[in-house]
Structure 1
Amino acid sequence: MQHRLSTLTTACVAALISTGAFADQGSFVGKLSDSAKQVYFEGAQVRLKELNLTTTTRRDGSFRFTNLDAGTYTLEISYLGTAPVTKTITIAENQTRTGEFTLSDNRSPIEDVVVYGQRAGQAGALNMQRSADSIKSIVSSDAIGQFPDQNVAEALQRLPGLSIERDQGEGRFVGIRGLDPNLNNVTVNGVNIPSPEAGVRSVALDVFPSELVEGLEVSKTVTPDMDADAIGGSIEVKSLSAFDRAGQSASLTVQGSQNQLRDQTSPKVSASYTNRYDLAGKQDVLGIATAVSWFDRDFGSDNIETNGEDELEQRHYTVNRERLGAALNLDYRPDFNNQYYLRTLYSEFSDTEFRQANIFVFDGEDSEVERESKDRFEEQQIFSVTAGAEHQLDQWLLTYQAGYSESSEDEPDALYYVFKTDGFAINSDLLDQIPYVEQEAGVSQLSNYELDEIEFASNQAEDQEYSIKVDIARDLTFSGHAAQIKFGSKYRNREKQQNTNVTFFDGDFDDIDPGMFADETPDWGLGDFGQGLDKAALRSYFNTSRSGFEIAKLDSEIESNGESFVNEEDIFAAYLMGKIDMDNLRIVAGLRYEKTDFSTSGQRVELIEDELNDIEQVVNTPWIAEQNYDYLLPSLNMRYAISDNMLARFAYTQTVARPKFEESAAFQIIESKTEENDEGGFDTEREAEVGNPELKPFESDNIDLTLEYYPGGIGVLSAGYFYKDISNFVIFADVADLPEWDGFDEVVQPINGEDAKLQGIELAWVKTFDSGLLLAANATFSDSEAVTLLDGERFETSLPNQSDRVGNFTLGYEDNHWSLRLTMTHKSENLEEVDGDMLLMEDSHQQLDFSGKYYISEDMHLYLNAINITDEPFYAYFNQRSRNAQYEEYGRTFELGFTWKM
């Protein structure tokens, strides 16, 4: 290995000092499309036989060879699903020759194989996977349209090793190989996307409608030219370009969906348009692509959950989610050597939720019941703009890009009511998935309650990032082997801020009759819910009577100030990498350097309740902290062609993941209480919840080994092993025994814990048959070891959110009129978190979906999607499966739609 890296380094140096060695050489630029020149093919392998030089086609079907001596060469093009293409080309000195190539297959027309339908998606994804320098899983735009997936997160769950976390039954966050989504990197058109949600780094990918996406690429191993903050992996979202398609194109989709649980019907409309234009006498040099999607969905869920000990909560949700997405992309390509682009993406996701809840607190004769309501509107926005260019300067390829992205979450005027009653007999053993509550009839009547508290909140979170990067590459020949040197730099500036504004009202409610807010009994499928709460009446009463309510000033102040902070990161990166092809072996290796300057500002907020000195106040003290760190990270990716149909890959990489913003933020919430004891003296108790600006980033050493077999046609059989050794894993601990917290009874703070380990096996099989049958299956089996604290004691467990088994199965069929798919996703149980002295476990989830299309013509089709056919609920439990933590059901959803394409 040392000899190979030394050879590669020598080749890189030789390239840098030999700028004039190729003065009399030529280049060749080609493009690969279907016979109608309407579809371009990405990921095809292109080889110059005499020189043993290989490259792959790009998104627009183009490829390029540079540094070619004048002469005649044999060009071989290989694309899964078709017969190889062999052509003769001629290279002239100091000239760039061009050519257009068409895939063909003697067995069946190309249009039936890899241009249209579900087989197109498989062919495109597998070709890109096969030709990649690193280990990747890919979803093409054609494959996205073949599943009943409503957003990017749900489209990604079909890939090997990927699983999703759901909210209200919809996929939101994506985990790679069972790791926390906060350990992934998400980019759109090469720009890092900040998270709209307060305190976290993970991006909820349900904000991106699948119609705006041209492709999804998951890199499970990184190369030095990629961001290093990808312990789980890196997810790249690619939006539409006019040069992805030939000429003018357009599409329109109209859909209606129905949720059975709430019996609501929801509309959806999406459209796209691309075209190319001539400028200054040059043909097809300007490309414009635009797309828009709108989905207004009404649905809900029924929920019952407990704390595992003495509290049970019944919840009824009514939800409206509206998604609006738009993209406008420009490309200017005046010649073969220069390309300019502008990419934009806008996504707006609003969630209107009305939650009614019954909370039972079991304490014998002192038992209580609360009726609560939550009325809130939440809007998340993501905007990304990227401008860049690519220039072929003789033997050098120069690319540069500037990007800006911002995310925000706005929750204005959220309103919460709490009603209380006691004196009624209630009982439950909290066992079973759906625990039963014994209660007197009067518990269900609002007139038996008293208004206890109203909470009014307006919260905001913003996340912005500026970035600029430059990459320089050069192809060369070293000792008869094709090689490339590449180096570059990137700068990122990111600011995350959270602003919390909460007001608690807890008095002057004596004259209020809760019966005035009574509504019809909700249709709750898990038992008897009792009288409902009138959303409009609750909001109207608050608006008209707010000025007369008594404000709980201290509680409001500590909540608002204690949860507000600003974090900022400056990240500078530089890398050097090389690539060399030695017969059947390709090596990609190099180093990446990343330096981070981190700062955070917040407040130390202390609530003081002192009976001895008759003091009751909140003391606010500003807190500012800084931290700097840097890393030099090696990576090695090797790809060996055992035969024309079999590849072996090996990778060793080092990656990092910066802590969550809420964990490293400068905030302290302290409560100090001095009360008289039974002996007439006074005792002081002090507790705190604090952030940790000194947290170190996660660090991971990663080893990957895969074997891929492409038996011919459209298909693959693969097996892979992965291993991750993660240090600085973050856990929450009571640090009251440290000197700086002397006098405190409890201080909960995130700290860097011991190492964690993750290893597993990924298996995947895809096969299409000439009969139209499609079979696809994948499974990931993994195991992890981590150390956390359970009831203050050291406890060995698995990584949070890591499932031992994740899998997918697809059965499909397609002919000239029908395209059918039945899909199943499976995720085994996993540890969600340690809750006090109990383990909170998420139960296994298995969902069955169906998608069917009928092609009226080549341009039009009808489709029917059935989602969650078996009405699979979400279930979590404490320690043992019979002890409920949360049970939630969502019902089935059916979608009927029409799509037209030009």
Structure 2
Amino acid sequence: MSFDGIDVLGAENGRIPRFDSIPAVITSSVEANKAVTPDLPGAPILGHININTFSPFETEGFGLSATVGAGTRDLNDAETQRYALRASWSNDRFGVLAFGTLDKRDRNVDNREFAPVDTTGNGTLDSLESLDYRQYGGYRENNSYGAKAEYRPAEGPLDRLFASSIYYGFADEEERNQLVFDFDPVPLKSAGRIDGISVTRLLEQGRYETSTFTNTIGADFEVGEWLVEPRLNYTETENYMRLPLVQTMNFTPISANYDIRDLDDPVLTPFALGTSTPVDVNTLSPNLSLLINIFNKLETDSTKGIIDVERDFGNTKFEAGLSYDQREATGNNAQVVTVGLPVNVNDYATDTLWDAEFTNTIGGVYYRNEALRDSTFNALLAADPTYSPIPEFTPEDAIGIEEDILAGYAMGTTEFGRANLVYGVRVERTDFSTSGNQVIDGVATDIDASNDYTNVLPSLHLNVDLAEDWKLRLSATTGISRPTYTEARASQSVDPTNRTISGGNPDLEAEESLGFDASLEWYFDTASILSAGVFHRRIDNVIYPGGATVDGSDFAPGVFAAGEQVPYNTFLNGEDGRLTGVEFNLIYSAADFLPGPFDGFGASGNLTILDSEFFAPEIGANGINAPIPGTSDLIYNASVFYEKYGVSARLSYQWRDAWLSTTESGPNLNQYWDETERLDAKIQYTLPFEYGGARTVIFAEANNLTDARDRRYIETDATPDQVEAFGRAYMFGVSVDF
């Protein structure tokens, strides 16, 4: 992902950005390139997103855009808030812009998770041995701020000089109330009574944060007939998680009636053991109490210099560029378990039952989790002044990364009457080193590794105007996707007792793709288009989590004998990846077809059919074929809208088929997210008058109108392991543009 053509690191694992935290108030337009050209970073395999931000010169003189919104979610009446402000000033030569946003949503989520098992040994999940009831609260928020300044001299070789600074972040303040019931396996789709159930309670008030801070200075020069564009960028990201988890375990068994014929809403009614006397699971006296204090942090920084040049040679535009990117990442995980709690957890239970869409026959209540967390930490600190609520990092999870990427490209765009050809090549050299720890029986030893590779990435694009209203596009492209910093870390843990190794894999190869695209577009009226496209990607070295059998002496020669084969739980490269699909798009405006007032109607839609697969050789005895993670076989969306008389109304529907989440559980245990749908609506009205030159818009939004739930399953949808409900959400607000 890029801002104004400068690609930035993602906050999650050094690669993955959170698109939902990017501020809309600074976004002028979004460019989505499925077939990338050599001037774009080589990292994308399936496409590249570039966010063009507003210029201070968008509005002459003083400009202001402000939005205020408030709303609610029907699950527990959770509140939502939205604030956005962008202000700018410019004259003929100089412009400045500043912005800030806050989008906060109270959170109330129903969650049910399950533990399906195979009781016959034939590889089929046929029973359940656990029901996990959860209620999540707290809030989520996105916030951003930044500024831009730009100078455009009246004459001379300098066209413009600019500087920009953008910060955007996401925070999840999470409250968890959880009750887990473990029992001997019972058949799926059954109902009856269970005796001998143990109850585990988990309570948490935690926080998860990601942030990106990107800063760019640049200039555009005209040197003779050349356009020269130097840029210097510095970006920092942070990924932070703190989850202090209080856990109590009750080994004195209870009984329950159960009904799991509908796993979207499992029913369990607890009783005292062997009786029909109801039992309050919130008052059970625990046999064991724990504080599981989890903390992790990953920080990255990148300094990148870029210079691009451009010149026209007759009917050909030539472009070339060089970039050098120095990246560093440091991080670690921590998990410290304290046995025995200095507080009575039962004292923090309230009388308020969960506000749940799911059945709450277990009698789940809310706890004062923040007070429980603080009281626990304060009591531990009073007993031991050296105690720290921030646990020490675990050496085997340490991440230390240095990555240098040198890239250069050359490309041309040649016009041939009714066609043009875009062609060129990009070369990227990656030098990667990682340091960490090898931990054997709790003893840490420094370990480091390195890797380097060069990728040559040619591409070719042909665009032909078959007629005034028909366009043909053909493309052949190449791309790469580097391992995340967690996947490629050097740190590892060696278990001499169980004869296993786990950790990162610095020898991972980048995923490489070769792609072909073809599309035909019909512009059948001024604002209407119908298009169809086909595409294919051959993807080598697909990265997946799994286990390999290795010679243990290559990793820990003092622990494993030469030639001793041991399992290594890590990240691996798959083989023979492919992604093939067809896509249809429609944008229809009735403005040229229907008389008023019906000419304000319109519709848009997209249908994508995909087929993907890769081979994971280290899963199972002979490897498995699986879909590429994150890809669905079928995706479609449709919108109908009306825009006239100051009214803009839109109803949008999205649907996607199931997609693979992870393969790490082993053969026949692949985890999938089930099909999802969303129905959203928005209506806004521009007031027919201006006050002081300001245009005012009032709006209303409604999301998830069908009250859709998210569902995850193992191998088949008959064996779900998680169901979540979020409820519908509504917002009302006003925007002012001056």
TM-score (norm 1): 0.72
In structure 1, the partner of 2:146 is: 327
Give, in angstroms, the shift of residue 430 of structure 1.
5.4
Matched, 1:861 2:719: no
In structure 2, the partner of 1:351 is: 172
In structure 1, the partner of 2:122 is: none
In structure 1, the partner of 2:188 is: none
CA, structure 1 residues 802+623, in 2 after alignment: closer, same or farther (shift >3 Å)? same
CA shift digits 1:547-593 (9 cap, x unpaired): 47799x9xx99972222211111000111111110111211111111
CA, structure 1 residues 465+800, in 2 after alignment: closer, same or farther (shift >3 Å)? same
In structure 1, the partner of 2:29 is: 215
Give, in angstroms, the shift of residue 845 of structure 1.
0.8
Distance (whole Å) between structure 1 residues aligned to residue 94 and residue 290 of structure 2: 61
Give, in angstroms, the shift of residue 857 of structure 1.
2.5
In structure 2, the partner of 1:786 is: 614
CA, structure 1 residues 305+328, in 2 after alignment: closer, same or farther (shift >3 Å)? same
CA shift digits 1:424-483 (9 cap, x unpaired): 125757552222335323362333324421022443211111111111111011xxxx11
* Letter of the structure 2 residue corresponding to residue 527 of structure 1: T
In structure 2, the partner of 1:166 is: none
In structure 2, the partner of 1:243 is: 57
* Letter of the structure 2 residue corresponding to residue 225 of structure 1: D
State the Cα RMSD in Å: 2.3
In structure 2, the partner of 1:257 is: 71
Aligned counterparts, 1:538-687, within 5 A: 538-547=372-381, 560-607=394-441, 618-673=442-497, 685-687=498-500
In structure 2, the partner of 1:611 is: none
* Letter of the structure 2 residue corresponding to residue 330 of structure 1: A
Give, in angstroms, the shift of residue 697 of structure 1.
0.5
Distance (whole Å) between structure 2 residues aligned to residue 558 and residue 750 of structure 1: 25
Matched, 1:314 2:133: yes
In structure 1, the partner of 2:316 is: 483
Answer with 861-870 or 491-500: which moved more: 491-500
Give, in angstroms, the shift of residue 302 of structure 1.
0.4
**Which of residues 453, 463, 472 is equivalent to 2:300?**
463
Secondary structure of 2:727 counterpart: coil
Secondary structure of 2:499 counterpart: strand
Aligned counterparts, 1:365-376, within 5 A: 367-376=197-206
In structure 2, the partner of 1:419 is: 248
In structure 2, the partner of 1:761 is: 582
In structure 2, the partner of 1:71 is: none
Distance (whole Å) between structure 2 residues aligned to residue 471 and residue 878 of structure 1: 49
Distance (whole Å) between structure 2 residues aligned to residue 750 and residue 878 of structure 1: 20
* Letter of the structure 1 residue corresponding to residue 208 of structure 2: E
Matched, 1:735 2:556: no
Give, in angstroms, the shift of residue 311 of structure 1.
2.4
Distance (whole Å) between structure 2 residues aligned to residue 565 and residue 343 of structure 1: 30
Aligned counterparts, 1:76-91, within 5 A: none
In structure 2, the partner of 1:702 is: 515
Secondary structure of 2:332 counterpart: strand
Give, in angstroms, the shift of residue 623 of structure 1.
0.8
Please list every run of 5 or more consecutive structure 1 residues that lacks an aligned counterpart in the other structure. Answer: 1-185, 278-283, 608-617, 674-684
Distance (whole Å) between structure 2 residues aligned to residue 429 and residue 667 of structure 1: 45
In structure 1, the partner of 2:101 is: 293
Secondary structure of 2:238 counterpart: strand
* Letter of the structure 2 residue corresponding to residue 781 of structure 1: I
Give, in angstroms, the shift of residue 537 of structure 1.
3.3
In structure 1, the partner of 2:11 is: 196
CA, structure 1 residues 886+300, in 2 after alignment: closer, same or farther (shift >3 Å)? same
Aligned counterparts, 1:523-534, within 5 A: 523-528=355-360, 529-534=363-368
CA, structure 1 residues 696+574, in 2 after alignment: closer, same or farther (shift >3 Å)? same
Secondary structure of 2:377 counterpart: helix
Distance (whole Å) between structure 1 residues aligned to residue 258 and residue 548 of structure 2: 36
Aligned counterparts, 1:171-182, within 5 A: none
Distance (whole Å) between structure 2 residues aligned to residue 568 and residue 437 of structure 1: 52
CA shift digits 1:396-439 (9 cap, x unpaired): 11111111111112335x32100111211257575522223353
In structure 1, the partner of 2:334 is: 501
Give, in angstroms, the shift of residue 725 of structure 1.
0.3
In structure 2, the partner of 1:54 is: none
Matched, 1:691 2:504: yes
CA, structure 1 residues 599+865, in 2 after alignment: closer, same or farther (shift >3 Å)? same
**Which of residues 708, 711, 721 is equivalent to 1:885?**
721
In structure 1, the partner of 2:345 is: 514
CA shift digits 1:784-836 (9 cap, x unpaired): 12112544441112111110111110100011231110001111111222323
Distance (whole Å) between structure 1 residues aligned to residue 382 and residue 439 of structure 2: 28
Secondary structure of 2:376 counterpart: helix
CA shift digits 1:131-160 (9 cap, x unpaired): xxxxxxxxxxxxxxxxxxxxxxxxxxxxxx
8 Å CA contact 1:505–1:549 kept in 2: the answer is no
More helix by share: 1
8 Å CA contact 2:551–2:564 kept in 1: the answer is no
8 Å CA contact 1:489–1:574 kept in 2: the answer is yes
CA, structure 1 residues 537+392, in 2 after alignment: closer, same or farther (shift >3 Å)? closer
In structure 2, the partner of 1:870 is: 706
CA, structure 1 residues 189+563, in 2 after alignment: closer, same or farther (shift >3 Å)? same
Q: Which has the larger radius of gyration?
A: 1
CA, structure 1 residues 398+200, in 2 after alignment: closer, same or farther (shift >3 Å)? closer
**Which of residues 23, 40, 46 is equivalent to 1:226?**
40
Distance (whole Å) between structure 2 residues aligned to residue 428 and residue 302 of structure 1: 19
CA, structure 1 residues 366+512, in 2 after alignment: closer, same or farther (shift >3 Å)? farther
**What percentage of residue pairs aligned between the two structures are identical?**
25
Distance (whole Å) between structure 2 residues aligned to residue 388 and residue 512 of structure 1: 58
In structure 1, the partner of 2:215 is: 385
8 Å CA contact 1:212–1:326 kept in 2: the answer is no
Give, in angstroms, the shift of residue 248 of structure 1.
3.2
More strand by share: 2
* Letter of the structure 2 residue corresponding to residue 599 of structure 1: S
Distance (whole Å) between structure 1 residues aligned to residue 179 and residue 108 of structure 2: 17
Distance (whole Å) between structure 1 residues aligned to residue 682 and residue 113 of structure 2: 33
Give, in angstroms, the shift of residue 744 of structure 1.
6.1
Please list every run of 5 or more consecutive structure 2 residues that lacks an aligned counterpart in the other structure. Answer: 118-128, 186-194, 272-277, 555-559, 592-598, 690-694
Give, in angstroms, the shift of residue 780 of structure 1.
0.7
* Letter of the structure 1 residue corresponding to residue 113 of structure 2: E
TM-score (norm 2): 0.88
8 Å CA contact 1:442–1:448 kept in 2: the answer is no
Distance (whole Å) between structure 2 residues aligned to residue 242 and residue 753 of structure 1: 47
8 Å CA contact 2:229–2:309 kept in 1: the answer is yes
Secondary structure of 1:203 counterpart: coil
* Letter of the structure 2 residue corresponding to residue 533 of structure 1: Y
Give, in angstroms, the shift of residue 541 of structure 1.
2.3
Distance (whole Å) between structure 1 residues aligned to residue 483 and residue 523 of structure 2: 40
Distance (whole Å) between structure 1 residues aligned to residue 6 and residue 293 of structure 2: 36
* Letter of the structure 1 residue corresponding to residue 631 of structure 2: Q
Matched, 1:812 2:651: no
In structure 2, the partner of 1:76 is: none
Distance (whole Å) between structure 2 residues aligned to residue 808 and residue 531 of structure 1: 39
CA shift digits 1:822-871 (9 cap, x unpaired): 00111111122232341222111111000001222361121110111111
